[in-house]
Structure 1
Amino acid sequence: MIIEPISLKDAFIIKQEPIEDERGYFARTFCKKTLKEYGVEFEMLQTNMAFNRYSKTLRGMHFQKPPFSEEKIVSCFQGSIYDVIIDIRLESATFGKWFGTVLSADNKLSLYVPKGFAHGYQTLEDNSSINYMVSEYYTPAYESGVRWNDSFFDIQWPITDGLLISDKDKKWGDFRANINGISLL
């Protein structure tokens, strides 16, 4: 596994190092020791899978509030997605900035999402499957989110028309309004 820093503080891409032969390949997708070398004490408590029948499906932007904030390692094992994270840590040097990248079965990349980040993705192909390794148990009372198209962040999604979005994700509040009156983190 190769760790590649990105433009957002504390977040990074994980690249697999596949060992291939005529049968296929083998690659490590998680190594606690390697993550620790980069200062990450990731304890996986749960894994989740999402299957998306259609391209243009958008899920996000989600996070859990303290004390149930979570880290994630996100991978796409079938199809492809445009994966996006937003640093919503008020004290961070990259607060309010977002990063997006393609995760796919072909490129075998994963994205490490630290605590204090909102996360979401858009499917680029039908029948895309996403796996999440998560450091905290899902706790519905602490679930929150920001709107996928909130002008505060100005995320540049690759597809903007004909999106399939849940009612819940359409209704997340305006970030500017929430930041002043409600503790997001």
Structure 2
Amino acid sequence: MIIKPGSLQGIYDITLAPNLDHRGYFTRMYDVNIMTAHGLHRNWVQENRSFSKQKGTIRGLHFQCEPQAETKLVWVSRGAILDVFVDIRRDSPTFGCYESRLLTEENFAMVYISPGFAHGFCTLSDNCEVMYKVDNAYSPAHEGGILWKDPCLQIPWPVQQPIISEKDQRLPTLDKLKRRD
């Protein structure tokens, strides 16, 4: 397992180290000792699975507000996604900045996302399965989100006409979210 900090404080890129042979591979998805050594071990309370039938599906950008803010550990078990996270920490020098990662079942990449980030992804293949651990229970009263096509963020999504939920289409822009607080 290789762990490297991302450009945004609180983001970590994790590359798994599979043992390959003629049968396929075996890889450890989580190692408490390695994660603890990097200060990243959490008490994971939920493990979630998201399945999207069609390429071009966007889910997000979602977050949980305090006190239910959550850390996420995200990977793809089938297919490929463009994973996107936006810094929404008001006191952060990178507030409003985003980064993205290509996560596929073949590249053995994971991303660790600290609290204070909105998170979403776009599927790059049909029948895509995304798995993620979270360290706080889901709370509908604390959920929030940012519009996927917020013009201020200028995220270069790989699709112009995504498959997206009505709920996600109605999320506010980051600017409108700031004004509500």
TM-score by length of 2: 0.96
In structure 2, distance between residues paired with 1:28 and 1:158: 30
CA distance in 1 between counterparts of 2:172 and 2:118 reads 13
> Partners in 1 of 2:23 and 2:59 — Cα distance?
35
SS in 2 for 1:177: helix
Per-residue Cα deviation, 1:101-135 (whole angstroms, up to 9, x for no partner): 11011111111111010000000000000001111
CA distance in 1, matches of 2:94, 2:37: 22
Match of 1:143 in 2: 143
* Separation of aligned partners in 2, 1:95 and 1:31: 31
- Alpha carbons of structure 1 residues 18 and 41: separation in structure 2 relative to 1, 3 Å: closer
Equivalent residue pairs, number? 181
Alignment of structure 1 residues 20-59 onto 2, 5 Å = 20-59=20-59
One-letter code of the match for 2:167?
K
Structure 1 residue 90 displacement after superposition:
1.1
Partners of 1:65 and 1:144 within 8 A in 2? yes
Partner of 1:170: 169
Specify every segment of 5 or more residues in structure 1 that has no aligned partner in the other structure, as ranges: none
CA separation in 2, counterparts of 1:52 and 1:23?
28
- 1:74 match: 74
Q: Which segments of 5 or more consecutive residues in structure 2 lack a partner in the other structure? A: none
Residues of 2 paired with 1:181 and 1:82: CA distance? 29
Counterpart of 1:181 in structure 2 is 180
Does structure 2 conserve the Cα–Cα contact (< 8 Å) formed by 1:9 and 1:93? Answer: no
TM-score, normalised on structure 1?
A: 0.94
SS of equivalent residue, structure 1 residue 164 = coil
Asked if the contact 1:51/1:128 (under 8 Å) is kept, the reply is: yes
Partners of 2:31 and 2:91 lie apart in 1 by: 29
Q: Which amino acid aligns with 2:93?
A: A
Q: CA deviation at 1:34?
A: 1.8
Q: CA deviation at 1:52?
A: 0.5
The Cα shift of 1:98 comes to 0.5
Deviation of the 1:35 alpha carbon: 2.0
Q: Which amino acid aligns with 1:18?
A: P
Paired-residue identity, %: 37
